[in-house]
Structure 1
Amino acid sequence: MYLEHLSLTDFRSYAQVDLALEPGVTVLVGYNGIGKTNLMEAIGYLATLSSHRVSSDAPLLRFGTERALVRARLVRGTQTTVLELEINGSRANRGRINRSNPVRARDLVGICQTVLFAPEDLALVKGDPSNRRRFLDELLASLIPHHAATRSDYDRVLKQRNALLKSARAGRFTSAHESTLEVWDQHMARAGAELLHARLELVERLRPHLARAYAELTDASKPADATYRSTLQNQMDDDGVPAGSSPRAKPGGSSDGPDDLRLLSVDQLTERYIQAFAESRKKELERGISLVGPHRDDLELMLGQAPAKGYASHGETWSMCLSLRLASYYVMLDDARTGGSAPILILDDVFAELDVQRRRKLAAIVSGAEQVLVTAAVDADIPGELSGRRVKVVPGGIDEQ
């Protein structure tokens, strides 16, 4: 799959811009602040309904406007698909597929598949657990689109349950509170179990690819791995650090005996959550928040025997971030071999952050992708392995060369 045409209206700095693209490597060159990243951000947003730069939609709208439009024409084999996404400041976003009637924005998820590398990826290692949870959930939705609804349903139930806990904390915990909380426990346990089950399966798919990608980038002796930390095994503190003295889970999110969550079905995980809610009831009422669930889990990234966070050097941190993105690319390629689509690779200002060795290795790995979109301030930042079409980005638009 590749992106043949991108059109933006009132998105970020662009009142209107059209960009024709083709398979292979395209490098967008322009000085910093000119709007290169805005173009890449729009493609990434079309794929995941989220920005890699901001947490809300408001900054995506050109200042003084109330909506932005992202249009894209995708080609897969002999099939062409036109996607349109309307980003609204005051109401729900809407989408169109092949100029059909408007649909929910999330119905577009999974059609345009991308893997986006960006300097902001450092947060995957150095940032708080929410960055890593988001990484997993966005990849899940790209691979299996209905998981976008799974996460949305869980967030909705979590919000309602937290509101009830806060209400109970503010007043006296009555029998009415208790019976209502039990109902929300059931809803949240089921939604949480479905999300946890999907994440655990995804982590198992990612782990071998993560090890492979890190070895390809670094030739390092320390292997890269990932461990899923669930609140069903250890309650987490506000920084995502396991609290208490429960045993550490083995790589992949398991520990000895019954704590190997990968062996449990959704129904069994649901029962585990209901039990965990009951055990945490007193503490949750004291704090007025839900302390158990996927919203407090973490994906711990490991280099050798040590966590990457806090122990990895700057170079190792960058390599781990790149390896995570490459692992997600390899997982998508696995799906492409059984009927899925190979993703569009987007490297937004990444090469300027890397040393010469890592530049060359990353370029060699991605150069064979069906479509690679790269941004850079100067041509000198781009390794020779990524020779291809050059597009000059100028204030407010594109200067085709």
Structure 2
Amino acid sequence: MYLTHLSLHDFRTYQHLELPLSPGTTVLVGPNGVGKTNIVEAIGYLATQDSHRVSQDAPLVRFGAERALIAGQVNRGDRLTRVEVEINPRRRNRARVNRADFSRAREALGILRSILFVPEDLELVKGEPEVRRRFLDDLVVQLRPDQAAMRNEFDRVLRQRNALLKSARASGGFTEAHEATLDVWDMHFAQAAAPLMRNRIHVAKLLAPHVAQAYSELTNGAKAATLRYFTTVVDEAETLGSVDGPVAEQTLLTPDMVHITDVVSQALEASRARDIERATTTVGPHRDDVMLGLGSAPAKGFASHGETWSLALALRLAAFRVLMEDDPSDAARPVLILDDVFAELDEFRRQRLVAALADAEQVVVTAAVGSEIPQGLDATVVRVSPGEVMIDDATNA
């Protein structure tokens, strides 16, 4: 899978951009602020319909315009597919695939797959649990686009349950009517939480060996990297532990949604008094985390800056390999995007990362200057200046 052409209309700083692309590595070179990241952000958005820079779509639309359009021509093995996403901040986004309109933009997910490396990936290791939960959820959607609405549904139910707890406290006490309503929302919560947890635990299990392998490749086997999913539910219901725990293994081998729903229900029952006292939901997938380790120590708080970088890169490479393992055909191989990453790495890690990229059919890299790109990386160089691009004849960065 690779992009053969990218078109932007009123996206970020670009009123109009046409960029031909090819298999192999393309390096976008230009000073900071000229729009390189806007281009790779557009590619990522075309694949995931999410931005790694903002949580709302409005900033993606060029100032003064009503909507933005991202269009890509995707080579998927033996056929070309044109996918377009129209971003409308004031109404629902729209998508079109080969001139066929989709009523919901997310129906176009899966046409293009991508994995994005950015300097902010350090937060995957040293940041808050929400960053790591989103990492898992995003990979779930790339693997199974039909799961895209799952997180939103859980968030909706969580807001409703918390609103009930807060309103009961504000009214002066928890009545029988409140209890009855909470029973209903507990049922909805468990039903929404179960598939979210099942998918996260499953993806964590897929990631774990690839993280260990990728970290070893990037660091020449300096330390062993580990990944496991931790859920607050285990503390309340005394079940569904980490990925390497026996109950979690049983759940993965027999993905019984009724069982997982019952486990969440038990956890809610056990935490009810505390939830009422604090007026918030204290257990569930919104409180879970991905535990990363190096050697015998947790990575967060103990890893050096270099180790943190290597582990963050290993997480992204592991996600790429999970997608490859899911569908090893060229038609499903993700596009790899590295936004200003080489500038943050020493020469050893640069060369290790280049070697790890060998399985990618298409890689798009951004750099402020050509000297940031490792020696020997064959690439098409695209010079980026404000509002325009120019492809060099040179093929070595």
TM-score (norm 2): 0.93
Consecutive unaligned residues of structure 2, counting only runs of 5 or more, are: 393-397
Alignment of 1:207-246 (within 5 A): 207-234=208-235
Residue 146 of structure 1 aligns to a residue whose secondary structure is helix
Is the contact between residue 57 and residue 87 of structure 1 (CA under 8 Å) also seen in structure 2?
yes
Residue number in structure 1 paired with 2:81: 81
Residue number in structure 2 paired with 1:130: 130
Is the contact between residue 253 and residue 260 of structure 1 (CA under 8 Å) also seen in structure 2?
no
1:175 counterpart = 2:176: yes
Shift of 1:234: 3.4
Runs of 4+ deviating beyond 4 Å: 246-250, 256-264
Residue number in structure 2 paired with 1:312: 303
What one-letter code is carried by the residue in structure 1 that aligns with 2:233? L
Deviations 1:132-156 (A, max 9, x none): 0110000010011112122222122
What one-letter code is carried by the residue in structure 2 that aligns with 1:197? R
Separation in 1 of the partners of 2:184 and 2:262?
Answer: 14
Separation in 2 of the partners of 1:366 and 1:83?
Answer: 25
1:378 counterpart = 2:348: no
Separation in 1 of the partners of 2:270 and 2:240?
Answer: 20
Residue number in structure 1 paired with 2:101: 101
Separation in 1 of the partners of 2:240 and 2:260?
Answer: 19
Separation in 1 of the partners of 2:263 and 2:223?
Answer: 35
Residue number in structure 2 paired with 1:242: none
Residue 66 of structure 1 aligns to a residue whose secondary structure is coil
C-alpha distance 269-248 of structure 1, shift in aligned 2 (>3 A)? closer
Is the contact between residue 8 and residue 18 of structure 1 (CA under 8 Å) also seen in structure 2?
yes
Separation in 1 of the partners of 2:119 and 2:195?
Answer: 32
What one-letter code is carried by the residue in structure 2 that aligns with 1:30? G
What one-letter code is carried by the residue in structure 2 that aligns with 1:209? H
Deviations 1:39-62 (A, max 9, x none): 001111121222112222222121
Residue number in structure 2 paired with 1:354: 345
C-alpha distance 390-339 of structure 1, shift in aligned 2 (>3 A)? closer
Residue number in structure 1 paired with 2:269: 278
Residue number in structure 2 paired with 1:287: 278
Shift of 1:258: 8.4
Q: Percent identity?
A: 53
Residue 111 of structure 1 aligns to a residue whose secondary structure is coil
Is the contact between residue 151 and residue 195 of structure 1 (CA under 8 Å) also seen in structure 2?
yes
- Identify the match of residue 323 of structure 1 among 308, 314, 322: 314
Separation in 1 of the partners of 2:335 and 2:367?
Answer: 17
Separation in 2 of the partners of 1:248 and 1:378?
Answer: 49
Q: Aligned Cα RMSD in Å? A: 2.1
C-alpha distance 253-53 of structure 1, shift in aligned 2 (>3 A)? farther
Residue 234 of structure 1 aligns to a residue whose secondary structure is helix
What one-letter code is carried by the residue in structure 2 that aligns with 1:283? R
Separation in 2 of the partners of 1:309 and 1:356?
Answer: 24
- My pick for the range that moved more, 7-16 or 305-314, is 7-16
TM-score (norm 1): 0.92
Is the contact between residue 233 and residue 240 of structure 2 (CA under 8 Å) also seen in structure 1?
no
Residue number in structure 1 paired with 2:192: 191
Shift of 1:262: 4.4
Consecutive unaligned residues of structure 1, counting only runs of 5 or more, are: 236-245
